[in-house]
C-alpha cells in the first residue's frame, strides 16, 4: 500500500477477507486496513508517520512498526486497532499512541522508543531501555530487562512488574495498582523505585518478591501484627492511603471456641474491639458521623488470644509511642461442628490464586454443598483443583447435572489436571471417596476480553 490519505480522510484498503500468504507492507500515511487475513507480518514502514488504523484484521505473525528516519521532527504516530490480534507487536517508533480493543499478546518496545501511550490490555510488555510509558488499561506482565531509566505513569492495573537489574531507575504513577512486584535479591526498593517515598501511601502493591519468587519484606508493611487462628498464620493485603497504612487480612473460617492470636511488631501495641458481622449500618446526624466514630485509642489493648463464638469482625489499630500508625480488620466466619465441614472439598486455584469455598449449613443427601462463588479472569482461566487425600473430583462444564440427584457419570469428567477455560461458564462437580459421594460444589467462571 503506497498511496497516502490525509488528516481526517484515511485511504481505506478493504481486503474483503482475502488471505495473504506472505507479508503486507504499508508504505504510506493516513491508511486504514480492514477485513484482511495476513499469514505473515503486517509491516508499517517509516513512511507511516501520523495515523494508521486496522479493523477485523488477522495477523498470524507480528505487527512491526519501523523507526522514522527523521526522529527529531517526527510526529507522534497514532495506531488504532479494532478486532486485531497479532502474535506480537514490535515498536521501533520514537513516539506513539496505541489503542486496541483486544488484548495485545506481546508488546516489545525497542531501544528506539522514547515514549508510548498504551490504551487497552497488554498480556506481556517487554521494555529494554529508557522509556516514558503512559496510558490506561491493564498490563498482565511487564518485564524491564535492562538497567533502564523508566517512567511508568500508567493508570490502571499491572498483574506483575518484573525489574531484572539492581541498577534500574523506575518512576511509578501514584495511583497504580500492582499485584506482584519482583526485584533482584538484595536490591533496595527505595533505590529501584526512585519516587517510592512520594507514592508509598497511594500506590497499591499486593506482593513484593525477588526474581526467584521469594517474599521480600516491604518496609512500610512491617508495622502490622502476625495474625493466627489456632496457630495458622493469616496473610493480609495492605491498602495504602495518605492518612496511614490500612490492612485487610484474609477471612478466617473457624469453629466456636477457636482462638485468634495477634503477635505485635516490636515497639507496637494493638488496640482492638470485636463487632458482630456484618457490621450494623450507622445512621449519621446532620452534622456528620465524625464525632460519633470511636477513637481506636479507647479500644482495649491486646494482651492474649481472643476467643471467637459467632461471625465477627475484629477492628484494630497499631499504636507506637501513643500514636496510631496503622489500622486493620479481620472478618471471622464461624461454622458448627454438627452442621458443617469443608475438609473434604478440594483447594481451588484460578490462574494461581486460591479461592475460598462457602459451605452451606443445609446438608443434601447427608453431605455438604459448597460454592466457590464467582471468579473473573482476563482472556482465559486456568482452573486447578487440589483434591484432599483419598478423594477424587468429577466435574461438568456448563451444566449442573448433580442438582438433579441423578448422576450421569458418562458425561462427568474425572479431574486429572488444570482445566483451561476461555469463555464464561458454570463448573459443577462432586467429591468422591471410593464409590461414595461426600460433597458437591460449584463455581461461576467469568472471562472478559477487557
**Chain CA centroid to CA 442, Å:** 22
- Name the E strands within 250-311: 252-254, 259-263, 269-276, 306-307
Q: How confident is the model at residue 289 (pLDDT cuts 50, 70, 90)?
A: very low
Task: Return the pLDDT at 186.
Answer: 84
Name the nearest CA neighbour of 54 among 106, 11, 23. Answer: 11
Residues in the chain: 450
Q: How confident is the model at residue 38 (pLDDT cuts 50, 70, 90)?
A: very high
Mean pLDDT computed over 54-59: 94
Q: Is the pLDDT of residue 418 over 80?
A: yes
Measured CA to CA, the distance from residue 389 to residue 391 in angstroms comes to: 6
Task: Quote the radius of gyration of the chain (alpha carbons, Å).
Answer: 27
Measured CA to CA, the distance from residue 325 to residue 420 in angstroms comes to: 44
**Cell numbers placing 272:** 482492638
Q: How confident is the model at residue 65 (pLDDT cuts 50, 70, 90)?
A: very high
Chain segment 232-257, per-residue pLDDT in tens: 777 776 665 445 678 788 788 776 66
Task: Return the pLDDT at 70.
Answer: 58
3-state SS assignment for residue 224: coil
> Which residues lie across from 167 on neighbouring strands?
none
Chain segment 170-179, per-residue pLDDT in tens: 999 877 889 9
- From first CA to last CA, the distance across the chain in angstroms is 32
Q: Is the pLDDT of residue 292 over 50?
A: no
**Can you give the pTM of this predicted structure?**
0.51
3-state DSSP: the chain helix, strand, coil percent, rounded to 5? 5, 55, 40
Q: Find all residues with CB under 8 Å of 360, minimum gap 6, and list them.
A: 340, 368, 369, 370, 371
**Cell numbers placing 390:** 483419598
Task: Return the pLDDT at 450.
Answer: 55
Exposure on the CB side of residue 159, measured as CA atoms within 13 A: 15
Chain segment 347-375, per-residue pLDDT in tens: 888 888 877 777 665 566 677 788 888 88
Chain segment 84-103, per-residue pLDDT in tens: 988 899 999 999 999 999 99
Chain segment 257-278, per-residue pLDDT in tens: 678 999 898 889 999 999 876 6
Residue 80 · residue 54 · CB < 8 Å: yes
Q: Is 128 left (phi over 0), alpha (psi -120 to 50) or beta?
A: alpha
For each of the domains in the chain, give its residue range(s) and CATH number, in order of start: 11-220 (no CATH), 226-281+288-334 (2.60.40), 347-448 (2.60.40)
Amino acid at each position: 500500500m503506497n498511496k497516502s490519505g490525509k488528516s481526517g480522510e484515511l485511504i481505506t484498503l478493504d481486503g474483503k477477507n482475502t488471505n495473504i500468504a506472505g507479508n503486507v507492507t504499508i508504505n504510506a500515511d493516513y491508511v486504514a486496513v480492514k477485513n484482511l487475513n495476513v499469514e505473515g507480518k503486517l509491516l508499517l514502514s517509516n513512511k507511516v508517520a501520523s495515523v494508521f488504523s486496522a479493523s477485523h484484521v488477522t495477523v498470524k505473525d507480528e505487527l512491526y512498526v519501523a523507526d522514522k528516519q527523521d526522529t527529531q521532527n517526527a510526529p507522534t504516530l497514532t495506531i488504532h486497532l479494532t478486532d486485531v490480534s497479532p502474535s506480537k507487536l514490535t515498536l521501533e517508533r520514537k513516539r506513539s499512541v496505541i489503542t486496541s480493543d483486544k488484548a495485545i499478546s506481546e508488546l516489545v518496545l525497542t531501544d528506539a522508543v522514547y515514549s508510548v501511550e498504551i490504551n487497552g490490555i497488554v498480556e506481556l510488555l517487554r521494555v529494554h531501555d529508557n522509556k516514558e510509558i503512559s496510558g490506561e488499561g491493564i498490563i498482565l506482565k511487564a518485564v524491564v530487562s535492562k538497567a533502564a531509566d523508566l517512567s511508568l505513569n500508567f493508570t490502571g492495573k499491572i498483574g506483575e512488574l518484573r525489574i531484572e537489574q539492581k541498577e534500574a531507575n523506575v518512576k511509578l504513577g501514584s495511583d497504580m495498582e500492582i499485584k506482584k512486584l519482583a526485584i533482584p535479591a538484595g536490591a533496595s526498593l527505595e533505590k529501584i523505585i526512585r519516587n517510592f517515598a512520594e507514592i508509598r501511601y497511594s500506590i497499591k502493591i499486593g506482593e513484593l518478591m525477588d526474581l526467584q519468587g521469594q517474599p521480600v519484606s516491604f518496609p512500610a508493611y512491617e508495622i502490622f501484627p502476625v495474625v493466627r487462628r489456632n496457630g495458622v498464620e493469616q496473610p493480609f493485603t495492605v491498602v495504602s492511603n495518605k492518612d496511614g497504612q490500612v490492612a485487610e487480612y484474609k477471612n478466617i473460617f473457624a469453629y466456636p471456641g477457636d482462638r485468634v492470636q495477634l503477635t505485635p511488631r516490636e515497639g507496637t501495641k494493638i488496640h482492638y474491639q470485636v463487632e458482630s458481622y456484618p457490621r450494623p449500618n450507622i445512621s449519621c446526624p446532620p452534622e456528620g458521623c465524625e464525632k460519633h466514630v470511636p477513637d481506636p485509642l479507647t479500644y482495649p489493648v491486646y494482651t492474649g488470644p481472643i476467643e471467637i463464638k459467632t461471625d465477627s469482625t475484629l477492628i484494630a489499630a497499631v499504636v507506637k509511642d501513643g500514636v496510631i500508625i496503622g489500622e486493620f480488620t479481620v472478618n471471622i466466619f464461624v461454622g458448627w461442628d454438627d452442621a458443617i465441614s469443608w475438609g473434604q472439598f478440594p483447594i481451588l486455584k484460578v490462574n494461581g490464586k486460591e479461592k475460598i469455598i462457602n459451605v452451606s449449613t443445609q446438608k443434601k443427601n447427608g453431605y455438604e454443598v459448597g460454592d466457590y462463588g464467582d471468579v473473573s479472569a482476563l482472556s482465559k482461566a486456568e482452573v486447578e483443583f487440589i483434591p484432599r487425600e483419598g478423594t477424587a473430583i468429577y466435574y461438568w462444564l456448563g451444566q449442573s447435572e448433580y442438582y438433579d440427584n441423578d448422576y450421569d457419570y458418562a458425561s462427568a469428567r474425572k479431574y486429572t489436571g488444570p482445566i483451561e477455560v476461555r469463555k464464561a461458564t458454570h463448573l459443577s462437580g462432586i467429591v468422591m471417596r471410593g464409590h461414595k459421594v461426600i460433597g458437591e460444589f460449584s463455581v461461576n467462571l467469568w472471562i472478559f476480553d477487557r
